Amino acid sequence: MRFQDPAKAREFFEQKMTFTTGPVELNRMLKDENINVIDVRAAEDFAKGHIPSAVNLPKDKWDSAQGLKKDKINVLYCYTQQCHLAANAALELASRGFPVMELEGGFETWKEYELEVEK
């Protein structure tokens, strides 16, 4: 294992904490803050259940940016911790001027915490 630079590690984790959130924090933010939740999963999976108030924006609709807000933080999520759809969406949408964060763990982690699911 090669030596990790503590300054680079600190910078990485500061960035990570700025641009990611967990399910419990997101659930709290839904009640208190000016956020917009975006589900980037396929429409059929969104229809089976999603985070309350989430807007569905599957990959084939990213160009439209439908449902996104420039005056709110857009919290993006996909399926699981291993899924990179939300990270890819965040990269693309941030480059187009949208404020974004990613929900760590995706919808599976949200359900593991037994948080509300809307259908």
Query: CATH number of the domain that 16 lies in?
Result: 3.40.250.10
Cα 81 from chain centroid (whole Å): 11
Share of the chain above pLDDT 90, in %: 87
Share of the chain above pLDDT 70, in %: 97
Per-residue pLDDT of 34-59, as tens digits, reads 899 999 999 999 999 999 999 999 99
**Is the predicted pLDDT of residue 1 greater than 80, yes or no?**
no
Q: What is the dihedral of CA 18, 39, 35, 81, to 10 degrees?
A: -30
Whether 119 is covered by a domain: the verdict is no
Whether 106 is covered by a domain: the verdict is yes
Average pLDDT of the chain is: 94
The secondary structure of 95-106 as a DSSP string is HTT--EEEETTH
* Domain assignment of residue 20, given as a range: 6-112
Q: Could you tell me if 77 and 37 are in contact, meaning their C-beta atoms sit under 8 angstroms apart?
A: yes
Question: Domain total for the chain?
Answer: 1
The secondary structure of 18-59 as a DSSP string is HHEE-HHHHHHHHHHS-EEEEE-S-HHHHHH-BSTT-EE--G
Number of helices (H) and strands (E) in the chain: give both, helices first. Answer: 5, 5
Q: To which residue do tokens 């960035």 refer?
A: 15
Whether 1 is covered by a domain: the verdict is no
> What's the average model confidence in pLDDT over 87-97?
96
Whether 92 is covered by a domain: the verdict is yes
Whether 105 is covered by a domain: the verdict is yes
Whether 118 is covered by a domain: the verdict is no
